[in-house]
Amino acid sequence: MKNISKEDYLSTIYRHRNEEGGIKTTQLAEKLDISNAAVTDMVKKLSKDGFVDYKRYRGIKLTEKGETYARSMVRRHRIWEMFLHQVVGMPWDKVHDEAENLEHSSSEELINRLEEMLDYPEFDPHGDPIPDKNGTLPKQRECYSLNQIRKGEPVEVVRVNDFEKGLLSYLSKIGIELKKKILVKDVLDFDKSMLIEVDNSEINISSKIAANVFVVKV
């Protein structure tokens, strides 16, 4: 049986909740790769300790206390990702697991010193916002998933979903990274797959891949 910490639960709820701020126990179990029963048991404990609001069949939401705690853990994780990517030189598809290990054993002083060393980054290597030491998130530009962009529109990549290593590895392979300019050349009516231009090369990508790449119009 996997040993999942309170910190892992709270940060996973924070990162994967829906627009209303909630997540279902089945979804949380899938993200943590554990049983629904294990999730239910832990969520009941987190609810008793004031970290989440949980009602059966209605999902899980972070309380103010849980939100503060989760943002602190997400901050640690994303600062470590930036350090591993910028200083150590690890590719963006490998920093997550390493940061997952490091975040639990780091003091607040160390995280603050890493943040200062990195010149106070506002976003991690995947474009996700990094809370500052007060829990405040940086301002973000309005962005769209690439599959919402129409033919002929030029865009710039500002964020990618980092939930799948395979996706990040593939995006790197075809030249898609943060701040990369993309031109949508065509959208196929049949399956909504896209023909895009990156670095003067034309590439076909699926609608599923495009849905995990977020861009701003330029």
Is residue 28 included in any domain, yes or no? yes
Instruction: Indicate whether 112 pLDDT > 70.
Output: yes
* Rounded CA Rg of the chain: 19
| 184 touches 150 (CB < 8 A) | yes
The CATH number of residue 55's host domain is 1.10.10.10
The CATH number of residue 154's host domain is 2.30.30.90
Comparison of pLDDT for 165 and 206, the residue scoring more: 206
Rounded mean pLDDT, 100-118: 94
Per-residue confidence (pLDDT) for residue 2, from 0 to 100: 62
Residue that finishes a domain, picked among 62, 81, 99: 62
Q: Strand order in 59-62's β-sheet? A: 22-23, 59-62, 52-55
Is residue 92 included in any domain, yes or no? no
Residue whose pair of structure tokens reads 């853990």 in the numeric block = 73
| 202 pLDDT tier (thresholds 50, 70, 90) | very high
Which domain does 52 fall in, by range? 6-62
Residues 6+ apart with CB under 8 A from 188: 194, 195
Is residue 47 included in any domain, yes or no? yes
Instruction: Indicate whether 1 pLDDT > 60.
Output: no
| 4 touches 37 (CB < 8 A) | no
Average pLDDT, the chain: 94
| 187 touches 150 (CB < 8 A) | yes
Strand 59-62, strand 22-23: pairing:
antiparallel
Q: Please give the C-alpha separations between residue 38 and each of 5, 25, 202, in angstroms, as whole numbers.
A: 12, 10, 46
Q: Identify any residues that bridge with 183 across adjacent strands, giving them in sequence order.
A: 154, 197
The tally of domains found in the chain comes to 2
Helix axes 95-103, 64-83, angle to 10 degrees: 120
User: What span, in angstroms and rounded, lies between the C-alpha atoms of 42 and 60?
Assistant: 12
Is residue 123 included in any domain, yes or no? no
Residue that finishes a domain, picked among 19, 37, 62: 62
Q: Identify any residues that bridge with 187 across adjacent strands, giving them in sequence order.
A: 194
Is residue 44 included in any domain, yes or no? yes
DSSP 85: I
Is residue 211 included in any domain, yes or no? yes
Per-residue confidence (pLDDT) for residue 165, from 0 to 100: 87
* Tokens describing residue 163: 């939930």
Is the pTM higher than 0.85? The answer reads yes
Tell me how many degrees the CA angle 55-56-57 measures, rounded to the nearest 5.
115
Q: Which amino acid is at 153?
A: E
Per-residue confidence (pLDDT) for residue 55, from 0 to 100: 85
- Residues 33-55: tens digit of each pLDDT: 999 999 999 999 999 999 999 98
Per-residue confidence (pLDDT) for residue 3, from 0 to 100: 72
Is residue 46 included in any domain, yes or no? yes
Is residue 29 included in any domain, yes or no? yes
Q: Identify any residues that bridge with 144 across adjacent strands, giving them in sequence order.
A: 215
- Residues 8-38: tens digit of each pLDDT: 999 999 999 998 899 999 999 999 999 999 9
